[in-house]
Amino acid sequence: MGRVLDVQTAAPLIPPHPTLPLLRSIAASCQACELFKRGTQTVFGEGPKAARAMMVGEQPGDAEDRMGHPFVGPAGKMLDKALEEAGIDRELVYVTNVVKHFKWSERGKRRLHEKPNAREIAACRPWLEAELRLLKPDVLVCLGATAAQALLGKSFRVTKMRGQILKAEIADAIMATVHPSSILRAPDDEARHREMELFIRDLKVIAPLLRH
């Protein structure tokens, strides 16, 4: 019989009656997984308490890690542009990540993104669950495969289900689409333009749900 790993999580850090500012303050010193040793700081979710949509990515990137705010780098600017094109008020959106520390490896002077593993995702999940309980968003949007599989199950495939409104216990309306960083990685301008149009098309699906 295999040894069961003791997975430490952030759960003991969550207070009985949290608020977003309190969670953000406590998360700043989270050491539930090893990523705190590499990240400059915890990058917690941001947005209004009354946000109608919650958008969840994988993890903060290099710019986010340095600045301490989610979605402020190139991918965040891409998201802002797509939301505007889709007719979604950015003020209605709360943005966060499955993992709150930047996982990276060094290549020369560059810090390159590394995908978080299952243990790191599990350790950080209580923060995301607490955000969901407090916000109770009308729409939950998973940006990319890591977020989608963390919230909708390992078998979920963004390529097959992107842009479709789903229902689950955690939210009345859930949609998965690509992470805006994937658009930036497209091989040329034509591909980037095409991927951006598809991303905007996906976001337009949720726009009517935020107008009632």
- 126: tokens are 């209580």
> Mind giving me the DSSP string for 127-171?
HHHHHHHHH--SEEEEESHHHHHHHH-TT--HHHHTT--EEETTE
- 20: tokens are 């977003």
For 91, the enclosing helix (H) or strand (E) is none
Alpha carbon distance 97, 116 (integer Å):
11
CA 12 to chain centre: 22
Alpha carbon distance 110, 127 (integer Å):
29
pLDDT per residue as tens digits for the range 62-95 = 999 999 999 999 999 999 999 999 999 999 999 9
Contact present, 100 and 13 (Cβ < 8 Å) = no
Contact present, 100 and 60 (Cβ < 8 Å) = yes
- 57: tokens are 């990515």
**pLDDT over 70 percentage in the chain:** 96
Alpha carbon distance 49, 19 (integer Å):
9
pLDDT exceeds cutoff 60 at 7: no
pLDDT, position 22:
97
Q: Which residues contact 117 (CB under 8 A, 6 or more apart)?
A: none
Phi and psi based region of residue 199 (left: phi greater than 0; alpha: psi -120 to 50; beta: remaining): alpha
Alpha carbon distance 101, 97 (integer Å):
9
- 94: tokens are 């709360």
pLDDT per residue as tens digits for the range 167-195 = 888 888 999 999 999 999 999 999 999 99
pLDDT exceeds cutoff 90 at 35: yes
**Model-wide pTM > 0.85:** yes
- For the chain, give the number of residues: 212
Alpha carbon distance 59, 210 (integer Å):
25
